[in-house]
Amino acid sequence: MKDEYNTKTEAKHALVYCRVSSTKQRLEGSGLESQEQRCRAYADDKGYKVEAVFPDDVSGGGDFMHRPGMVALLSFLDAQQGKPYVVIFDDLKRFARDTEFHLKLRREFARRGATIECLNFRIEDTPESMFIETVIAAQGQLEREQNRRQVVQKMKARVENGFWVFRSPVGYRYVPSPSGGGKVLVPDETLAPVVRDALEGYALGHFASQAEVQRFLERNPDYPKDKKDGSIRPMTITRLLKKAVYAGYVEAPKWDVSLRKGQHEPLISFETFQRIQENLEGKKRRPAARADYNEDFPLRGFVLCDCCGNAMTAAWSKGKYKHYAYYRCETRGCEAKSKSVPKAKMEEAFEDVMMSLQPAKGLFDLAKAMLRDAWDSRLVSAASEKVALQKQVVDVDCQIEGLLDRIVEAKNASVVSAYETRIEKLERDKIVISERLEKSLPPKGRLEDCMELTLKFLSSPWEIYKNGDFALRQAVLRLAFSRPLRYTQNGVYGTPEFSFPFSNLGDLFGAKSEMVLLERIELSTSPLPRECSTSELQQRRQAR
């Protein structure tokens, strides 16, 4: 009886195929080596000459075309047309754990003139042999699908308990659980701060677009890159920004596991995560970042032409012997169009503007006192804010319960879906409110940390700008100025509009800072009081 799958030949050339289900089995076990050894011993006993061995350490989900080793084996047979081969398997389940693909793979070998032999099953050209072979293939498929179901059930149960079960996100790594029973995520000492800076920077506006986040991460040598040229795909950045795991929460929509508190340390707050989602959805309009930004021109896009009010651009110009850096206005119809301003001239003038923000010495005690007063006021209002947040949590719970009652009564599928969407949003709002409730009363020692950072920025914005990278310089510009600067044709900047702390505490800054005598302040109908310096004020107090 002729077998449609096997072709009877006197082949003496053999190929060995070995397979384990995962890379872990290959690394931690000796499955591939032992299979190869048994197959070679079988070939020696039969008098076959083994020409090549094709290993696989992937399952392929039953489809042999998803296994690199099997694809390589079939390609080898295609390149050796007319030469008969025997393909040796250690076990029939290594062939294909899927009935459909088992029969299909048999046809693929037969079409290439190759026969198959198995160590633990004798393949014969009889109906009985084909029936048993098909049953064994079906049994392998059943075991594979049962194993998959069991694995999914275990993974789903762990996610429901707050454990992340997928590949560790960048910024985390897996470690054995102290209590046993699997692995848990912990922040990676090297990458966690980088990811945190990227996420918080996008949420707070330090990075105006995903492109800026991408460039920030590409500049970090430790952050893993997608491509060999050191770049990261935009889709990778989008996925990074959408992962709730960084906020300390887990979810698995494909398994119907809703968002819940995770059993790992968060890198950012959930409120920050929600801000990121709002930015991604476009609820907050953000200025678009230049695709051709250049760290050589940190003021490009921030300095405006005084004639037309549009942002000035910048570029390198090629001279006879070297390149020269210039800022210029390229607005059509502008009087200053194409009039180049040397980079050094514009940035030296900008340095003078930044240096004017240096505070007068000896006034930091007053600034500290003001910060302490503001902090004390914040503590007073924190108690009432905490009560208000508690009421909001109760209100959200009531809304969720009401929607659940409506779902029970609803019969229309679209109405039920709308209610479920609304409940999901309320659950997320509740998480944000709960986080605010936990942080409503700041911990002890927080005042000193805030004061240190605030005074450091107020005392030396120019030093921070001068010594920082491109992203930090852009952040300083946004923090120090409320509006972009205007550059005149005379080579000077217009009157700068500083941000709130500098504009409202302007009397504390600059060499010309002076204080008014308290005892000389009179009613508005009287002549203006005479001003005197701080040293004069001290002399008068000593004279008393």
CA–CA dist 226, 234 (Å, integer)? 10
- Residue 175 tokens, joined: 């470690």
For 71, 90, 194, the CA distances from 203, given in Å and listed in that order, are 46, 56, 14
Per-residue pLDDT tens for 448-469? 666 666 677 777 788 888 888 7
- Is 471 among the domain residues? no
Burial of 49 from C-beta contacts in 10 A (0-12 / 13-18 / 19+): exposed
The sheet that has 341-342: what strands, in order across it? 313-318, 323-328, 341-342
544 pLDDT above the threshold of 60: no
Last residue of one domain, picked from the residues 281, 298, 333: 281
Per-residue pLDDT tens for 344-399? 888 888 888 888 776 665 556 666 677 677 777 777 777 677 778 788 888 888 88
Question: Which positions ≥6 away from 225 have C-beta within 8 Å?
Answer: 218, 231, 232
Co-location of 124 and 187 in the same domain: no
CA–CA dist 492, 355 (Å, integer)? 15
Co-location of 125 and 197 in the same domain: no
- Residue 65 tokens, joined: 């075309």
CATH number for the domain including 128? 3.40.50.1390
Mean pLDDT of 36-43: 90
- Is 397 among the domain residues? yes
Strand partners, 169: none
Co-location of 446 and 382 in the same domain: yes
- Is 129 among the domain residues? yes
Mean pLDDT of 462-486: 83
CA–CA dist 304, 294 (Å, integer)? 17
Co-location of 382 and 437 in the same domain: yes
Last residue of one domain, picked from the residues 450, 470, 500: 450
- Is 389 among the domain residues? yes
Last residue of one domain, picked from the residues 281, 308, 341: 281
Co-location of 194 and 122 in the same domain: no
- Is 414 among the domain residues? yes
What are phi and psi for residue 446, nearest 5 degrees?
Answer: -65, -35
pLDDT of residue 66: 75
- Is 230 among the domain residues? yes
- Residue 544 tokens, joined: 């008393």
Co-location of 29 and 140 in the same domain: yes
Per-residue pLDDT tens for 313-335? 888 888 778 888 888 888 888 88
Confidence band of 129 (pLDDT split at 50, 70, 90):
confident
8 A C-beta contact, residue 257 and residue 156: yes
Least confident of 71-80, 143-152, 194-203: 143-152
56 pLDDT above the threshold of 90: no
pLDDT of residue 4: 45
pLDDT of residue 264: 92
241 pLDDT above the threshold of 80: yes
Co-location of 260 and 198 in the same domain: yes
Question: What total of structural domains would you count in the chain?
Answer: 4
Co-location of 194 and 85 in the same domain: no
- The whole domain housing 64 covers 13-152
Mean pLDDT of 124-132: 79
Confidence band of 514 (pLDDT split at 50, 70, 90):
very low
Co-location of 108 and 202 in the same domain: no
CATH number for the domain including 193? 3.90.1750.20
- Is 344 among the domain residues? no
pLDDT of residue 505: 59
More confident residue, 51 or 461: 51
Q: Centre a 10 Å sphere on the Cβ of residue 276 and count the other Cβ atoms it contains.
A: 23
- Residue 106 tokens, joined: 């048999």
More confident residue, 440 or 207: 207
8 A C-beta contact, residue 5 and residue 109: yes
Co-location of 106 and 26 in the same domain: yes
Mean pLDDT in the chain? 78
- Is 259 among the domain residues? yes
pLDDT of residue 540: 45
Co-location of 136 and 256 in the same domain: no
Nearest CA to 91 out of 118, 63, 114, 129 is that of 118
pLDDT of residue 171: 93
pLDDT of residue 365: 66
CA–CA dist 87, 102 (Å, integer)? 14
Co-location of 103 and 191 in the same domain: no
